């Protein structure tokens, strides 16, 4: 590991023993052995090859808004895209954003420029990279509808542009959840629209969110995927589980598909509630709820 740390330091910022709770919206997660912020795309490509040659596990964290990192943290390298990847340019009606660009900011940028197609994203607190990987969506729309392409750095250092069709984007799923690559840039094909009405639409969606989701609490959005033809929140509520707590974690009173950190929750507390929900819903409705949040690290 020491030699990997010194090698990586030529390609970006490296720190050791970094508590990951700081980097997740749940404010949960043990330490990473190595935290690496690459200096740019080429630096990332070289660094990934070194990490692979060293046989050290790696993962990437965006804004940590869809992740449960376990209490033992991560034995390996956690890659995080920093400032060099917070970029934005416009080509006609297409916005091209760096992998670390905040999705909410991108949605507001689009409205300001009178471009339609991203109002759904105005309340999704992830990065552009995370939105591509998760096919983030809301209000009946998702990233697959507007994404043109994503630029990916693969684990072996190859840089490739993948068009939307190649990413196999379905409900909160893409092939990037199975394959090992980093989204360093994504292009969104938008359509010209009226700035005032786009702003109004986004504000309406925001007001709805504020009313229906516990946005003042540390959380990770919807914990479970909706099963076909139904809503996870409805099933959890029907099981009478709203408000149930374990340790520092609680199933939100406001939205049954959200689990909140009441202050000192551990990942194990959240996992306990996840299992409670899964077994109740299975027993009562015969449905196996799958998590939308990704569980990473070591327990």
Ligand X SMILES: Cc1cc2nc3c(=O)[nH]c(=O)nc-3n(C[C@H](O)[C@H](O)[C@H](O)COP(=O)(O)OP(=O)(O)OC[C@H]3O[C@@H](n4cnc5c(N)ncnc54)[C@H](O)[C@@H]3O)c2cc1C
Site for ligand X, rule CB under 6 A:
25, 59-67, 81, 99, 124-127, 129-131, 133-134, 136-138, 176, 182-183, 215, 219-221, 294
Q: Using an 8 Å Cβ cutoff, are 211 and 241 in contact?
A: no
Rounded to an integer, what distance in angstroms lies between the CA atom of residue 263 and that of residue 182? 32
| 172 among known catalytic residues | yes
Rounded to an integer, what distance in angstroms lies between the CA atom of residue 54 and that of residue 50? 6
Rounded to an integer, what distance in angstroms lies between the CA atom of residue 204 and that of residue 198? 10
Closest to ligand X by CB, 230 vs 283, is: 230
CB 215, min distance to ligand X, A: 5
- Residue 160 half-sphere exposure toward CB, CA atoms < 13 A: 13
Rounded to an integer, what distance in angstroms lies between the CA atom of residue 244 and that of residue 238? 13
CB 57, min distance to ligand X, A: 12
Q: Backbone dihedral region of 67: left (phi > 0), alpha (psi from -120 to 50 degrees) or beta? A: beta
Q: How many CB atoms lie within 10 A of CB 90?
A: 14
268 class by beta-carbon count within 10 Å (0-12 exposed, 13-18 middle, 19+ buried): middle
CB 74, min distance to ligand X, A: 11
Closest to ligand X by CB, 158 vs 282, is: 158
| 160 among known catalytic residues | no
CB 196, min distance to ligand X, A: 24
CB 229, min distance to ligand X, A: 19
| 222 among known catalytic residues | yes
Closest to ligand X by CB, 82 vs 243, is: 82
Parallel, antiparallel, or unpaired for β 94-98 and 88-91? antiparallel
Beta strands in 39-118 (DSSP E): 58-60, 67-69, 74-79, 88-91, 94-98, 115-116
* Set 116, 127, 222, 252: catalytic member: 222
Closest to ligand X by CB, 30 vs 129, is: 129
* Set 172, 201, 217, 252: catalytic member: 172
Closest to ligand X by CB, 3 vs 216, is: 216
CB 54, min distance to ligand X, A: 20
Give the number of residues written for the chain.
Answer: 299
Closest to ligand X by CB, 63 vs 266, is: 63
Q: Which helix (H) or strand (E) holds 106?
A: helix 103-112
3-state secondary structure string across 243-267: CCEECCEEECCCCCCCEEECCCCCH
Give the CA angle between residues 51, 56, 58 to the nearest 5°.
75
Strand, helix or coil for residue 105: helix
Residues marked as catalytic: 172, 222, 292
């Amino acid at each position: 590991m020491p030699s990997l740390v010194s090698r990586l330091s030529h390609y970006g910022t490296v720190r050791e023993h970094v508590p990951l709770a700081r980097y997740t919206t749940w404010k949960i997660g043990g330490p990473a052995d190595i935290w690496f912020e690459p200096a740019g795309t080429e630096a990332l490509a070289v660094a990934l090859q070194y990490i692979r040659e060293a046989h050290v596990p790696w993962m990437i964290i965006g804004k940590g808004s869809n992740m449960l990192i376990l209490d033992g943290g991560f034995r390996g390298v956690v890659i995080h895209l920093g400032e060099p990847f917070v970029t934005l340019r416009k080509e006609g009606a297409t916005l091209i954003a760096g992998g670390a660009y905040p999705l909410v900011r991108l949605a507001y940028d689009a409205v300001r420029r009178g471009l339609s197609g991203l109002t759904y994203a105005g309340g999704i607190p992830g990065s552009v990279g995370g939105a591509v990987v998760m096919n983030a969506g809301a209000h009946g729309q998702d990233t697959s509808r507007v994404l043109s392409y994503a630029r990916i750095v693969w684990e072996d250092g190859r840089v490739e542009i993948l068009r939307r069709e190649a990413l196999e984007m379905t409900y909160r799923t893409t092939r990037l959840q199975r394959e090992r690559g980093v989204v360093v840039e994504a292009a969104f094909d938008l359509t010209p629209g009226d700035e005032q009405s786009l702003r109004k639409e986004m504000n309406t969606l925001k007001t709805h969110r504020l009313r229906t989701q516990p946005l003042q609490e540390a959380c990770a959005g919807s914990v479970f995927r909706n099963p076909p033809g139904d809503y996870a929140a409805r099933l959890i509520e029907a099981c009478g589980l709203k408000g149930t707590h374990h340790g520092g974690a609680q199933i939100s009173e406001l939205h049954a598909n959200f689990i909140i950190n009441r202050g000192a929750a551990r990942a194990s507390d959240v996992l306990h509630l996840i299992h409670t929900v899964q077994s109740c819903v299975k027993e009562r409705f015969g449905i196996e709820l799958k998590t939308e949040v990704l569980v990473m690290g070591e327990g």
